[in-house]
Structure 1
Amino acid sequence: MSVAGYEDLLNGPVKKYLELSQKIGGDVAAHSKLVEKALQIQLQFVQKAANRSAPANQSEQVSLLAPMSAQIQQIQEFRERNRGSPFFNHLSAISESIPALGWVAVSPTPAPYIKEMNDAGQFYTNRVLKDWKEKDKIHIDWCKAWVQTLTDLQQYVRQHHTTGLVWGKTGIAPVGIPPPPPPSMPIEDVSLVINDDRSALFAQINQGEDITKKLKKVTSEMQTHKNPALRAGPAPFKAPAVTSIKSVLPANAPIDKPSVFTRDGKKWLVVGN
């Protein structure tokens, strides 16, 4: 369906744009040949994507997009080489909006991206309309055909590639993705626990006045306004008394003194215990 939809696009407004470009002739006709090739390259890209998995890495993606990128660059360079052309606004309308073909590398909003590029090109199509509306209607139809081409491309992408280019096969998950978390409690088990708790709660509520039968009666001894002793609160904390070391030792206990080294001439004497 994706490939067939793109072929319908080529057989519709794109075909009309190419026919009118040839009628205008000159630089517009030559430029349209480059545009036609770019659209054919994109068709081949869409066909390839429909039959393979997504690129495994960025390097492979760049390689796949290289032909289309190079063709878009040729379209824009043609405009730069022909700034003195009487159809410069025609060339600019295409060159400013042709990056819309880059939607294949845009995610998750490829369709809005195409609209942005279409709007950028309409700055120059409006100039063409202003310059040629009184001279030749074919230029008016040419502008409408190109704007319609990008409008239909946007609709095609919105229908078949809503959040980005869809690849035909599921690729292997990139290296480095952590394994899935361990299975949690089944949903039905959780619901049973919740239901049990709710059932117990509702059963207690439904007891009505009977629920108060299990409560203990508060006596006058347990009421603070009738028993002042309860208002005093617990006694403040007192740190335990610290007993000195001297009080532990007996009065006549010998006290060890550290040994002292003294020198008597060439001899060392040790004085102490």
Structure 2
Amino acid sequence: MAESNLDNIIKRLETATIRLEELAKNTNFGQSGSAASDSATAASDNTPAVQAFDDIMNGSVQKFIELSNNIGSPVKEQCEFFIQALKAQRQLIVTASKSKKPDQETFTELINPIKLSMNQVCNVREQNRQSKLYNHLSTLSESILALGWVMVEPSPTSYLEENINAAQYYIIRVMKEFKEKEKIHVEWTAAYTQILNELKDYVKKHHTTGLAWNPKGGNVADAKTATPAAAPAPAPAAAPAAKPDASKLFAELNRGEGVTSGLRKVDPSERKQKPVSNIVKASAESTKVAEVSSKPSRQVLEGNKWSIENFVGNKNIIIENTEIRHLVYIYNCVDSTIQIKGKVNAITIDNCKKTGIVIDSVVSAVDIVNAKSVQLQIREKAPTVSVDKTDGCQLYLSKECGEVVEIFSSKSSEMNVMFEKDDDWTEIPIPEQFKTKLIDGELVTKPVEHAG
């Protein structure tokens, strides 16, 4: 009898065990079907690549958002579109972690949200060209293409570095303008620089040869239906502005490394060499310099920045082996002549006296500030020349440059432009005196013309 009862108890325990195992299998240990699904989705989103991206979003990006909000409009609005682009990029990374690499048409559709937000970042700058925060806006818009690394193979890190460098010119200008005024702007540039550097390190580690897809994953369409873990949300976005047509630009980016496939390396002997004219040149006799710098002179390339500082009476300073990503900073040079060969990103001439600078070509701008009696000769092209707090500035423009350059001046005097015309040079002064009248409720300003 006792033995029979024991057999019954064992059978009942086995039956209960089977039922418990089936129940656990169906409900994922007491979770509802929806909760189990959400848990599985969250787990699939928590790959090392996604987690590392979230670390950036929850760290340096949050600090950048806070600083942008404190600075206010229009920096705040541009930051919101920047964050939208980052969130769209996170969604793409999540999708890639679950999916096999799709065809080009599907991929173009996937990156469209990133492109739209990038366009909006550029729009904010174009709509606020008169803003005192224009350099801040240019910092983001000039480097926003860095987020296009997802379209580049096999070296997205190099592509990132090139676009990150594009921000350095405007970062320097922001720091120069606000270093002694408002510390928050300097902190803002540091926070943005940190984001870019962290993004570069992230791509180098997790997407070495391009956006990492999952070879064992499913179709992109299936991955898109999954709900991603929420990334930090910025403040409500401003109303979308009309976006420029950037389809051609992104069509080129989509080609990845093919962008440069049609180019060939030009031998130095084939390059068109323009002789240095006698306009800006070293004189045979050294001028007597009244003011001599006590600091040692230096001519050095640090990262992507050339520093030429504290030269006195040196008529033969030559910078060669330049690259398009290089910045050139010329500081506190007196009675010297400097030649910069090749095409560089931007040039700043700061606190120089009786100094001549000869350059070939500049991608961004030449900035002359706090200078006296300087001469600048542009042998090829420069889209912008800015002259600020300078007394005595002679600009010599090639015919090629004269057709495209824009010259901005403020708090400066004795400025003249010389340009090539009919194999000769024509000189025109930049106005220093202006006349303003109130006409029909609007201020109308015109330069004062002096009859000779």
**Normalized against structure 2, the TM-score is what?**
0.37
Match in the other structure for 2:63: 16
- CA apart distance, 1:171: 7.6
- CA apart distance, 1:148: 0.8
Please state if 1:107 is matched with 2:153.
yes
Distance in 2 (CA, whole Å) between partners of 1:3 and 1:171 is 15
Runs of 4+ with >3 A deviation: none
Specify the code of the residue in structure 1 equivalent to 2:77. Answer: A
Please state if 1:6 is matched with 2:37.
no
1:54–1:170 Cα contact (<8 Å) kept? no
Match in the other structure for 1:165: 211
Larger proportion of strand: 2
1:27-83: CA deviation from partner (whole Å, max 9, x where unpaired): 11111111111111111111111011111x221111111111111011111111110
- Quick check: 109-118 or 126-135, which moved more? 109-118
Distance in 2 (CA, whole Å) between partners of 1:170 and 1:163 is 18
Distance in 1 (CA, whole Å) between partners of 2:216 and 2:115 is 25
1:152-208: CA deviation from partner (whole Å, max 9, x where unpaired): 000000000001011023489xxxxxxxxxxxxxxxxxxxxxxxxxxxxxxxxxxxx
Instruction: Trace 1:109-124 onto structure 2 (pairs within 5 A).
Output: 109-124=155-170
Distance in 1 (CA, whole Å) between partners of 2:119 and 2:216 is 31
Specify the code of the residue in structure 2 equivalent to 1:18. Answer: I
**What CA RMSD, in Å, does the superposition of the two structures yield over aligned residues?**
1.3
May I ask how many residue pairs the two structures share in their alignment?
171
Match in the other structure for 2:75: 28
2:98–2:213 Cα contact (<8 Å) kept? yes
Distance in 2 (CA, whole Å) between partners of 1:145 and 1:36 is 14
Instruction: Trace 1:28-67 onto structure 2 (pairs within 5 A).
Output: 28-55=75-102, 57-67=103-113
Distance in 2 (CA, whole Å) between partners of 1:18 and 1:47 is 23
Indicate the SS of the match to 2:189. helix
Match in the other structure for 2:199: 153
Which structure's relative contact order is higher, taking Cα pairs within 8 Å and 6+ residues apart? 1
Match in the other structure for 2:188: 142
Give the alignment partner of residue 80 of structure 1, picking from 106, 109, 126.
126
Distance in 1 (CA, whole Å) between partners of 2:57 and 2:208 is 20
Specify the code of the residue in structure 1 equivalent to 2:173. Answer: R
Larger proportion of helix: 1
Could you list the runs of 5+ residues in structure 1 that have no partner in the other structure?
A: 173-273
- Mark the structure with the bigger radius of gyration: 1
Distance in 2 (CA, whole Å) between partners of 1:12 and 1:38 is 17
